[in-house]
Structure 1
Amino acid sequence: MTNTIDSGVINTLNSGGAGSGGLNARQAEDLRNNFMTLLVTQLQNQDPLKPMDNHQTTSQLAQINTVSGIEKLNESLSGITSQIDAGQALQATGLIGKGVLVPGERVLLSQGEDGEVSTTPFGIELDQPADNVTVTISTGDGQVINRYDVGPVQAGVESFSWNGETGDGQAAADGAYRVSIEATREGEPVPVQTLNYAMVGSVTPPPEGGEVQLDLGAVYGRVGLSDIKQIL
């Protein structure tokens, strides 16, 4: 009999039992039992003049033990991941009913019965500071109704509000408008992410391998928790 145990069992364990989406616990246990049966049979039938040396035996036992340890580690990590996901979903429920800034270019204007104008906030996200930031408010068909500078802005997330007026100081009509932002530094354009306001209506637990989803209504749909740039 050969002095080296059939490597098929070990290879199957290494490729299937230790990887995600591989063997289930029952299959891995069966393979371990087969491995031990083969090892004991080999020891019982080995050539007395050419016995398996201790290094071979130790190496093969180490492989099977390593696979077992990886499987147990994967089970533990899976449990921890589930707990983290549940904790994130629970924390995210605290956002229900709150306003947030998410990537988008929409700003809403409404006028109350008392004539007071109300607009939804908007914001920007900069990777680096900007010497000057220019805000442009336009209608859905692209007509510019106001443009103004907000001056220098530091890197990070900043929120702003529009007073609801056109460029000539008149009150704009109720409705939805588009906000676009340009940022420059020493005369050169700076990448900028425009943010708009939305309200969190509900929270959906994360799918497998995903993240918590927040329902922002029919207009904005669902976004991931990582899309929330600021809580207002």
Structure 2
Amino acid sequence: MSSVASLSELFPSTVQGETIKNNPNELGQEDFMTLLVTQLENQDPTKPMDNLEFISQLAQFGTVSGIQDLQGGFSGLSSVLYANQALQAAGLVGQEVSTSSNMGYLAEEGGELNATVALPGDATSLKLYVQDQSGQLIYSRSFGATEQGNLNVSWDGTDAEGNTVAPGRYRLSAEAWIDGQNEAVSVYPRQRVESVSVAGDGSGVLLNLADGSQVSISSVKSFH
């Protein structure tokens, strides 16, 4: 007479084996199977589990397994996209970028600092200001009527008397007369990208700029 194997024998790795958990607070695939097998072994023989209920639990098991497979797939896709972003960012080395900061960097004495002024409307007049890190105004320049859009401007690294200033970080700002009102407008200085780094926490790709600062590639406004 042939013997009928118990559920423990059919699923030895599930019931008797040691389950490895990535997170003790999460119900994993092996945990789910262990609970199902235990339920079947301890059910009342006179009131066996309903077929529909059993199928429902198997479907839940399949859903858990499928979700885990999807999570693994998305994790792999994320790694590929992350590596691709780093590769694209490496192509920016040596180029200039504009970020959301209005701090610019004069790389050398007698050099130039380029920037982009964003005008939300047609301006009858425009004025550009350059301040040092202490907030002292060292240079200003007036422009005539300027159309709405992005205006490329440059500062030659001199003060109001025409004297050459020292290399370093400078703050750029601008005001424009638009629709009969004088309002502050955004200025985005450009900086050279010296190298690219990958954030240690996996949050993204960082650009190392000429002034020694780091910015996320997502904060870049434009490339030049």
Q: Report the equivalent of 1:41.
A: 41
Q: Report the equivalent of 1:74.
A: 71
Q: Report the equivalent of 1:227.
A: 219
Q: Report the equivalent of 1:56.
A: 53
TM-fit CA distance, 1:54: 3.0
1:131 to 107, 119, 122: 122
Amino acid at match of 1:110: E
Query: Distance between the aligned counterparts of 1:22 and 1:191, measured in 2?
Result: 52
2:103 to 93, 102, 105: 105
Quote the RMSD (CA, aligned, Å): 3.2
Amino acid at match of 2:141: R
CA contact (8 A) 1:107 1:122 kept: no
CA contact (8 A) 1:139 1:145 kept: no
Q: Report the equivalent of 1:180.
A: 173
SS of residue matched to 1:180: strand
Q: Report the equivalent of 1:121.
A: 114
Query: Distance between the aligned counterparts of 2:142 and 2:157, measured in 1?
Result: 12
Query: Distance between the aligned counterparts of 1:215 and 1:165, measured in 2?
Result: 26
Query: Distance between the aligned counterparts of 1:22 and 1:154, measured in 2?
Result: 55
Query: Distance between the aligned counterparts of 2:69 and 2:24, measured in 1?
Result: 13
Query: Distance between the aligned counterparts of 2:156 and 2:24, measured in 1?
Result: 61
SS of residue matched to 1:130: coil
Query: Distance between the aligned counterparts of 2:117 and 2:92, measured in 1?
Result: 21
Query: Distance between the aligned counterparts of 2:75 and 2:151, measured in 1?
Result: 37
- Asked if 1:32 corresponds to 2:32, the answer is yes
TM-fit CA distance, 1:84: 0.5
Query: Distance between the aligned counterparts of 1:151 and 1:23, measured in 2?
Result: 67
TM-fit CA distance, 1:174: 2.9
TM-score, with structure 1 as normaliser: 0.69
Q: Report the equivalent of 1:90.
A: 87
Distance 1:220 1:131, change over 3 A: farther
Q: Report the equivalent of 2:207.
A: 214
TM-fit CA distance, 1:183: 4.2
Query: Distance between the aligned counterparts of 1:206 and 1:124, measured in 2?
Result: 30
- Asked if 1:147 corresponds to 2:146, the answer is no
List gaps (5 residues or longer) in structure 1. Answer: 1-16, 112-117
Amino acid at match of 2:50: D
TM-fit CA distance, 1:96: 1.2
Query: Distance between the aligned counterparts of 1:53 and 1:209, measured in 2?
Result: 48
TM-fit CA distance, 1:37: 1.4
SS of residue matched to 2:155: coil
CA contact (8 A) 1:136 1:148 kept: no
- Asked if 1:199 corresponds to 2:192, the answer is yes
Query: Distance between the aligned counterparts of 1:213 and 1:76, measured in 2?
Result: 25
TM-score, with structure 2 as normaliser: 0.71
Query: Distance between the aligned counterparts of 1:82 and 1:98, measured in 2?
Result: 26
Query: Distance between the aligned counterparts of 1:183 and 1:70, measured in 2?
Result: 55
Amino acid at match of 1:213: L
TM-fit CA distance, 1:78: 0.2
TM-fit CA distance, 1:29: 4.0
Amino acid at match of 1:64: F
SS of residue matched to 2:122: strand
TM-fit CA distance, 1:188: 4.7
